[in-house]
Chains A and B, each alone.
Chain A
Amino acid sequence: MTPILQVERLSLEYAVPGGHMTVLQDVDLHVAPGEVVGLVGESGSGKSTLAFALLRHLAGNARISGGRILFEGEDLVTASPARLRALRGRRIAMVFQDPSTALNPALRLGEQVAETLRHHRGLDPRAAEAATADLLATMRLAQPRAIMRRFPHEVSGGEKQRVVMAMAMAGDPALLVMDEPTTALDATTASGILTLIRDLQARRGMSVLYISHDLGQVARIAGRVSVIYAGTIVEEGPTEQVLGQPAHVYTRLLLASLPNPLRTDERRRLASFAGPPPDLLHPPPGCRFAPRCPLAEAACAAQPPCLSGDALHRSACRRAAEAAGFPLPLQAPEPVTGATDTKLLSAEQVSVVYRRQRRPAVAEMSLDLARGETLGLVGESGSGKSSFARALLGLTAFTGRVTLGGQPVAELARRDRRLIQMVFQHPEESLNPTMRIGESLARPFRLYEGLSGAALSRAVDAWLERVRLPATHAHRYPNELSGGEKQRVAIARAFAARPALVLCDEITTGLDASVQAAVLNLLTELQAQDRTALLLISHDLNLVQHFADRIAVMHRGRLVELRPAYGLSPPPFHPYTEVLLAAMPVAEPGLTARAIELREAPAAEAGCLFAGQCPRRPDDRCNANPPIRIVSEAHWIRCHLALENLAAVPAIWG
């Protein structure tokens, strides 16, 4: 079958001060009619540039320096602007990452979709309105007419993305290009969008190019996947094969850098990459991955490899045969952790109520942490995870009682504040931009140990070395560091206080998989040295299952389940935990999650707060507060359903 989209040896460069950045180098990519192809790469790999290049919607300093983009046999590189305009939206449509910026905040959603329909299909206003309602219904929006009357800020992120997708579908395109369409969404919402894309694709037979940094997401939707690294396609093939038998060292390492709860033998360990990604102003002459590749030989650095292999599965790697099997450079020995019995932190009936909000952000949370334990706290955005952490530190006003080693945290002496430290989500935000790194890192020593002068700078240098940053970084300002480097400084600052407990609030969100792996490895290493307890807050259940000893699941301010973390989590689950688990994309070949549909009732405000969406809602019992069902000493579930029923659910993975 002739492909609908065929990119041949496409090269693209940006003119920047100091030369030309080759953002794309000889990229080959094809999408057959009715096919879903995934394009996976880290930030800066050129994947978004490729998406924009397909429609020649490029920045002023970008230049296509070679190659062809054949769409239905027509070369888009040489097509006239008028021709491109005719294709955009009608034959090729795009959906971008952030639905909140893709919509005009001043127009009602209905008008925005209707306008696209009028433009593409030449409908009159009344017909367009009817067509809009139809289209939104196709996007599985429960009440299309009501949604049409709303403004973007009045609907949820998932609903917005469905509206954006409706606009993309308005022209009935033959090819849909999606650039990280679910990255800004919660896991359950993202899962719903993925299901929708699959349905739409199956029904309309269009082709989809799905671009993402997340191999797990791509594995859920794409039949074939291309992996892009530093502007070159390093591997392409059927998803199963690429995940199961990677033929490029980069792909193999990328897979091993993802937290994967199914790889129980590699628990708490992730592969990380040596060195930084290549400078695209002066790319390495040979294989662009060679400088970081553990298997690189002299020939790799000398000459760029071509994509080779059989017609289906090809890779640009000289060591393709060994890529799937070589022993991973995992950190050894395995860090010693695990819970001890001594109780460290105890939170009793902690509630946080913000002004002008009826529902408490955190409602009567009780949680204990043992010395040296890693407790994962999961939940979707807005579930109150961060508020709870801030309450533990006393950064937010709360009711209830938080004690550390038997003493209320609020009454800790200044020197004892060292015992509880926090690492924040955004590395840009957690370091003062006007302070040099050395100064930021010196604070705990000045504050808790009274160090100064040479002893202080020795301590700072020692910690920079421990988090593998050059000593010269002490004289830099935060904006001169990358996101991963900043996060390491923040981690060093927290651990330098020699704390008993570190609260980690989504500390790897927004970081690339390889950077995340390095940060998490560092975290476990530091934790093992002092047997520090960790509260690992994340929306990423894979990560938490990979690293935590126990998992606490939060939903809308309440703790709904507390369970031990191990491998393929067996039932019983709280129905919400079940939904979360099924929504997590896991990059494991041959494994598919059971699809779980959420109910579409309005969110409950009393009784069980999950009742509105709960797929297992038994009956009106749920209007009352659910009881706690005790499974074992370390596992309880807050649900109206009896334990036998909760335990009888089928496995999530099959």
Chain B
Amino acid sequence: MGFLLLAIVTILIIGGPDLAPYDPEAFHPKFRYQGPSLQFLLGTDQFGRDLLSRVLGGARSTILFGITATALGTVTGATIGLISGYAGGAIDEVIMRLVEALLSIPSLLFAVLILTVLGGGTVNGILAVAITIAPPMARIARGVTLSVRNRDFVAAAIARGERRSFVLLREVAPNIAAPLVVEATIRVAFAIMAGATLSFLGLGAQPPASDWGLMIAEARSNMQRNPWLVIGPGLGIAAVAIGFNLFGDALRDALNPRLRR
């Protein structure tokens, strides 16, 4: 199920804009606030733009936003957690207290805060979401690092006189990857929703982009006149979120040796 949804997502990322029947930014003034019809499969918006084309056109930017932000946040968080967990002692204490302080701020509020300082826009939106993802990732990475660090093959490497960078990158890092990758796939859904929310608040993508969050934001005032304005992009966000969540679950089962067989 998760794989099926993800397959659709992949097609949307690659071919979304090309699949669209109309130019997503072309106005059709005669057909404003249309319901679904054969001509416009999902109906049209307040300017008569084809909703299906806009949903398809926005797929790439919306989904790539989620994936990029998650990847960035995961790598940052993993690095922090790895160093913190491996170093231990006072360094660990300081880093983890800072991470906990960041964790105490609600993530969306935190992202909004960052964007207020940095200014809106897609790139800054990615940065903001990545920064909110990093602290929980750091916590997970640190926890796994702590258990991997005490395993004998790490002791063996230290006893051999391996360089610290080798121990960290080749002995410890590959062994903490599995739980992080799983967590990251689940976080992609969160990142997409966060990105959509930021666009909705006017802090992410700017009009006339066909970002899903932005589409819902623009539709808010006209929702009563044509509910299809919200349903299309809303369903898109839901499908991608569920897809990544299911994929993450499947990945966790596949990577867990105790459940394998």
Interface of A toward B, CB cutoff 8 Å: 390, 393-395, 412, 414-415, 417-418, 420-422, 424-426, 429-435, 443-444, 447, 479, 490, 493, 497
Supposing A395-B159, A417-B161, A447-B160 touch, asked if A430 and B175 sit within 8 A by C-beta, the answer is no
Complex CA–CA separation, A422 to B152 (angstroms)? 10
Q: Judging by beta carbons under 8 Å apart, are A444 and B257 in contact? A: no
Complex CA gap A474/B151 in Å reads 22
CA distance in complex: A412, B161 (Å): 9
Tell me, rounded to whole Å, the shortest Cβ–Cβ distance linking A505 to chain B. Answer: 9
Give the number of residue pairs across the A-B interface with Cβ within 8 Å: 54
Of A418, A420, A434, most buried by chain B (CB within 10 Å of CB) is A434
Partner of B152, one of A418, A420, A430, A443: A430
Q: Smallest CB–CB gap between A557 and chain B, Å? A: 20
> Do residues B160 and A424 form an inter-chain contact, with CB atoms below 8 A?
no
- The interface size bin for chain B is 10 to 19
CB distance from B89 to the nearest CB of A (A): 11
**Chain B's nearest CB lies how many Å from the CB of A492?**
13
Chain B residues whose CB sits within 8 angstroms of the CB of A434 once the complex forms = 174-175, 177
Question: Which chain B residues lie closer than 8 Å to A447 at the CB level?
Answer: 160-162
Contact partners of A421 in chain B: CB under 8 A = 159-160
Instruction: Enumerate chain B residues within 8 angstroms of A444, measured Cβ to Cβ.
Output: 160
| B152 engages A424 (CB within 8 Å) | yes
Q: List 7 A-B contacts (CB under 8 A).
A: A415-B161, A422-B156, A424-B152, A430-B153, A447-B161, A493-B156, A497-B160
Q: A424-B152, A426-B152, A479-B257 are in contact. Are A432 and B159 (CB under 8 A)?
A: no
Closest CB-CB distance, B32 to chain A, in whole Å?
Answer: 58
Interface mask (B152-184 → A, CB under 8 Å = 1, otherwise 0) = 110111111110000000110011010000000
Is the Cβ of B161 less than 8 Å from the Cβ of A432? no
Query: In the assembly, what is the distance between CA of A429 and CA of B156, in Å?
Result: 10
Chain B interface, DSSP helix/strand/loop, else mixed? helix
Cα-based distance from A415 to B175 in the complex (angstroms):
27
Structural contact, A393 and B159, CB atoms closer than 8 A: yes
Question: B: which residues have CB within 8 A of A?
Answer: 151-153, 155-162, 170-171, 174-175, 177, 257
Complex Cα spacing A426 to B153, Å: 10
Contact of A431 with B153 in the complex, beta carbons under 8 Å: yes
Contact B155 A443 (CB under 8 A): no
Cβ-defined contact, B171 with A432, below 8 A:
yes
In the complex, chain A residues whose CB is within 8 Å of the CB of B170 = 432, 435
Chain A, Cβ-Cβ closest to B261? A17
Residues of B within 8 A of A490 (CB): 156
CA distance A280 to B51 in the complex (A): 63
Question: Which interface residue of A394, A443, A493 has the most chain B CB atoms within 10 A?
Answer: A443
Set of chain B residues within 8 Å of A424, measured between Cβ atoms: 152, 155-156
Give min CB distance, A506 to chain B, whole Å: 11
Q: How far is the CB of A236 from chain B (nearest CB, A)?
A: 35
- Please measure, in the bound complex, the distance between the C-alpha atom of A634 and the C-alpha atom of B241, giving whole angstroms: 72
Q: Residues of B contacting A394 with CB < 8 Å?
A: 159
Q: How many Å from the CB of A7 to the closest CB on chain B?
A: 30
Contact of B151 with A429 in the complex, beta carbons under 8 Å: yes
Tell me how far the C-beta of A415 lies from the nearest C-beta in chain B, rounded to whole angstroms: 8
B155 adjacent to A433 (CB under 8 Å):
no
Q: Which residues of the other chain, B, contact A493 by a CB distance below 8 angstroms?
A: 156
Write out the residue numbers on chain A whose beta carbons fall within 8 Å of the beta carbon of B152: 424-426, 429-430
A432 B175 Cβ-Cβ under 8 A: yes
16 extra interchain contacts, Cβ-Cβ under 8 A, other than A435-B170, A443-B157?
A395-B155, A395-B159, A415-B161, A417-B160, A417-B161, A424-B152, A426-B152, A429-B153, A431-B153, A434-B174, A434-B175, A434-B177, A443-B162, A447-B162, A479-B257, A497-B160
Which residue of the partner chain B has the closest CB to A430?
A: B152
Give the complex CA separation of A493 and B161 in angstroms: 13
Q: Which residue of B lies closest to A443 (CB)?
A: B160
Q: How far is the CB of B86 from chain A (nearest CB, A)?
A: 15
Q: Considering only CB atoms, which chain A residue lies closest to B173 in the complex?
A: A434
Tell me, rounded to whole Å, the shortest Cβ–Cβ distance linking B159 to chain A: 5
Q: Give every chain A residue within 8 A of B162 (Cβ-Cβ).
A: 443, 447
CA A422 to CA B159, docked complex, whole Å: 8
- Bound complex: CA of A447 vs CA of B162, how far in Å? 7
In chain B, what residue has the closest Cβ to A390? B155
Which residues of A lie under 8 Å from residue B160 when comparing CB positions?
417, 421, 443-444, 447, 497
